[in-house]
């Protein structure tokens, strides 16, 4: 009985450690966003740059930020941004939307992708944190 209890505790502890390792880290996402800042802005006062501002990305239809000149591929992608769409896109933008103007090789590291999403998703359409 003691062996069974210890085994169960080991499984629970292992699961908790795995969950913690996959947890999204907004601060780490902010650091990762440095890679994006040459082209994108986010937060209060964000403006379009080479790429569109990213406020309110979660739930926004692709190609709809006012006053940004999107590629036809992006405008016609049919994507409504959410966590799954973003994560697939940021790993390989040109594979997700062939013909996109976004010249970025992508982020392959799952933790970094999760953290970046946590950082971006915290902003509403007005650039305020939720």
- Residues 39, 49 contacting (CB under 8 angstroms): yes
What would the mean pLDDT of 48-68 be, rounded to a whole number? Answer: 98
Higher-pLDDT residue of 15, 125: 125
How much helix, strand and coil, in percent to the nearest 5, is found in the chain?
A: 45, 5, 50
For 5-18, write each residue's pLDDT tens digit.
444 444 454 444 44
CA 82, 127, 66, 115 torsion-angle sign: negative
Q: What is the pLDDT of residue 8?
A: 44
Residue closest to 99 by CA, chosen among 119, 130, 70, 65: 70
pLDDT at 3: 54
Q: What is the pLDDT averaged over residues 44-62? A: 98
CATH of domain 25-121: 1.10.760.10
User: Alpha-carbon distance 85 to 96, whole Å?
Assistant: 9
- DSSP lists the bridge partners of residue 129 as 123
Give the model confidence (pLDDT) of 16-28 as tens digits. Answer: 444 444 578 999 9
| CA distance readout (Å), 77 to 32, 70, 84, 91, 104 | 26, 11, 15, 17, 18
């Amino acid at each position: 009985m003691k062996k069974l209890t210890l085994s169960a505790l080991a499984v629970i502890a292992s699961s908790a450690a795995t969950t913690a390792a996959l947890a999204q880290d907004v601060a780490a996402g902010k650091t990762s966003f440095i890679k994006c800042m040459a082209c994108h802005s986010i937060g209060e006062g964000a403006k379009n740059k080479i790429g569109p501002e990213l406020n309110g990305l979660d739930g926004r239809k692709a190609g709809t930020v006012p006053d940004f000149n999107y590629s036809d591929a992006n405008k016609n992608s049919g994507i409504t941004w959410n966590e799954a769409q973003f994560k697939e896109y940021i790993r390989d933008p040109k594979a997700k939307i062939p013909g996109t103007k976004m010249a970025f090789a992508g982020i392959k590291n799952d933790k970094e992708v999760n953290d970046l999403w946590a950082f971006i998703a915290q902003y509403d359409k007005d650039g305020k944190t939720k």
